[in-house]
Amino acid sequence: MSISWCRCAPLVLCVSLFLIAGCTSQETGESLGATVTGTILYKGSPVDGAMVTFRPTGEGGHGAFAQTDEEGKYKLSTSVAGTTGVQPGDYVVTVTKTEAAQSNVASEDDPNYNPNASGRAPAAKNVLPKKYAAAKTSGLEFTVNQGPNNLPIELAD
C-alpha cells in the first residue's frame, strides 16, 4: 500500500510543529519577554485546529506559532531552544486551517480497486478565506508588548 505525500503533508506538518513546540517550550527556559494568547473566531464561531503564525515585521526577531484548541484558543511559542514566550515587537499574522480532501481512489482491499488508476490524492484544502494564509493579504497586524498579551482574532469573508 502506498501513501501519497500530498495526503500526509498536513499531518506531517502538524506533528513537526508539535514536536518543535514540545522540545522548546520548557517552563524553566529563559523568557523572551512576552506571552501571547487569544481566541480565533470565524463567522463568530471558534476555529478548532487552525495554525496561527506571527512573523516579525522588522529585522531580526523570531516568529511564533500555535494551533488552536477546540475552543479556538491559542498560546504562541517559538522554536528558539531554551526559551519561553515571544519577543515583544510588531508582527504580521497568518491563519490557516487545512483539511484533507476525501479521495475517491479505491483502496487495495476495495473490490473496485484498480492498480492502474491514477493514485493522486486530492490536495489538502484551506477552509478559511484565502487572504488569511498570506502575510501580504491577511490584514492582521499586532504589536506584542512586554508581559502578557491577549490578542483575539476575528476572521471574516
Residue linked to cell 484565502: 130
pLDDT of residue 126: 84
Where residue 82 falls (left for φ over 0; alpha for ψ -120 to 50; beta otherwise) is left
pLDDT of residue 58: 85
Domain extent, residue 54, equals: 5-155
Please report, for the domain that includes residue 108, its CATH number: 2.60.40.10
Helices within 55-114 (DSSP H only):
none
Which stretches in the chain have pLDDT values below 70? 1-28, 101-107, 112-122
Q: How far is CA 5 from CA 46, 47, 58, 124, 144, in A?
A: 29, 26, 35, 11, 36
pLDDT of residue 156: 94
- Whole-model pTM: value is 0.70
For the chain, how many structural domains are there in total?
1
